[in-house]
Each structure stands twice: as C-alpha cells, then as structure tokens.
A and B are shown apart, each in its own frame.
Chain A
C-alpha cells in the first residue's frame, strides 16, 4: 500500500471551531488531493496541490483552505466548521500528471461537526 496517513482518523468538534486535517505521504509524489465523501455524492474534490506551495480549488472548495509547505504534507483547514462539513475526508496522492494518473488514497478521516 502507498505510504499515506491521515490524522486524526476521527474527530468530533463544535460549530464555529477551526479544524485542521493532515495528510502525510512517504512516496514523494508531486500531486496531492483532498476529497470529501457524503452519502449519495461519491467523492468530491475540495482542493488539490501540484507542488510545494502550489494549490488550487476543486469543485467544493468553499469553507476550506489548504497549505503545502513541504512535499510530504498537505493540510486541510476548516476555518470555522459548520454542520454541513460533517463528512468523511480522503486524501489522495499521485506521482504524475501524465496519462497514467492513478491516485492512491489514504484511510480517511471521519469528521463530525455538532
């Protein structure tokens, strides 16, 4: 399995509090992604990174920010958590942007916002 860890694995927080989720990889892959998964929606891309300090928005980026200060870490921050952000969050990595762009996924973080 690809070396991807996510922390925390579970978190319960209250509305209005800031939350940071961490994705750590040991594969030295250039591309990293954050998805959320909700029932009936599959996975939706929040933000992605194509290099250190290079990030861009996905399809559901409102209310989220990201940072990538080094290759191995990609942080997802909810500045002020809302109940609509209760979800399972997956981090993914991929080695290239070429034709073979297989993404490797982490184990997920289950976030509950009360």
Chain B
C-alpha cells in the first residue's frame, strides 16, 4: 500500500487559493488518489478523486503529474467554513477497504 505524506497544517486567509500537496512515491499502477475533508465532530466527506492529469468539480481541483508520485488539491477562494482536516488517500480502485487515511493536513482559514 502506498504511504502518503502531507503537511501537518496550513494557514490561509479568506478569498485565497489554497494548494495542499500530497506525496505518494510508491503509488501503484492500479491506485487512485482520493481526497476527503473532515470537520470537527463529523465523519470525513469525499471531495475529489483522480487517476492522472487534472480533475475538477464544483468544490476543488486535483492536479496529478505524469509520474503520479504526488498530487495537489486546490481549493479556490477559501472561506472560513473551509477550515477542516484534509486527507489524501491512495488505494486500489478495486477496493475501498485497501485505502489508508494518514494524519491529514489541518487547514485553518483566517478572516
């Protein structure tokens, strides 16, 4: 299973774009990259998933370089409500149970 490394914490201000990078040097051919968001006292919530290049949805963008050894979650124009822990997961697309959550990145958005 590919281990992921992400910053422990990040600070930002409202209205800024936030980029959180995740390193996964041992990613396997069948692995997908998934990001979750977790607010205090709640379970994690799926944000975005990708395999290569760029994926965009209404919440975020995910950039994955050709070698797939890292990925970057981009949150456009963050607000105070984006303060949360963000988890990068790498696992086989064929089984959700083979994904591992690391410690995540705690994003704090200031006014």
| A contacts, CB < 8 Å to B | 31, 33, 35, 40-45, 48, 50, 56, 58-59, 90, 92, 94, 97-108
What sequence of 0s and 1s flags, for each residue 39-67 of chain B, a beta carbon within 8 Å of any chain A beta carbon?
Answer: 00111111001010000000000000000
| Given A40-B103, A99-B32, A102-B49: A45 in contact with B97 (beta carbons within 8 A) | yes
What sequence of 0s and 1s flags, for each residue 75-94 of chain B, a beta carbon within 8 Å of any chain A beta carbon?
Answer: 00000000000010001011
Say which size band chain B's interface belongs to: 20 to 34
Q: Which residues of B contact A31 (CB under 8 A)?
A: 96-97
Q: B105: shortest Cβ distance to chain A, in Å?
A: 10
| B contacts, CB < 8 Å to A | 32, 34, 41-46, 49, 51, 87, 91, 93-97, 99-104
Main secondary structure of the interface of B (DSSP, over half): loop
| Given A33-B97, A44-B101, A59-B100: A103 in contact with B42 (beta carbons within 8 A) | no
Q: Is the CB of A97 within 8 A of B95?
A: yes
Q: Which residues of A contact B93 (CB under 8 A)?
A: 98-101
Q: Which residues of A contact B43 (CB under 8 A)?
A: 90, 92, 105-108
Q: A92: shortest Cβ distance to chain B, in Å?
A: 7
Q: Which residues of A contact B87 (CB under 8 A)?
A: 42-43
Q: A39: shortest Cβ distance to chain B, in Å?
A: 9
Q: Is the CB of A42 within 8 A of B102?
A: yes
Which one of B44, B96, B100, B103 contacts A101 once the chains associate, using CB atoms below 8 Å? Answer: B96
Q: B87: shortest Cβ distance to chain A, in Å?
A: 6
Q: Is the CB of B94 within 8 A of A98?
A: yes
Q: Which residues of B contact A33 (CB under 8 A)?
A: 96-97
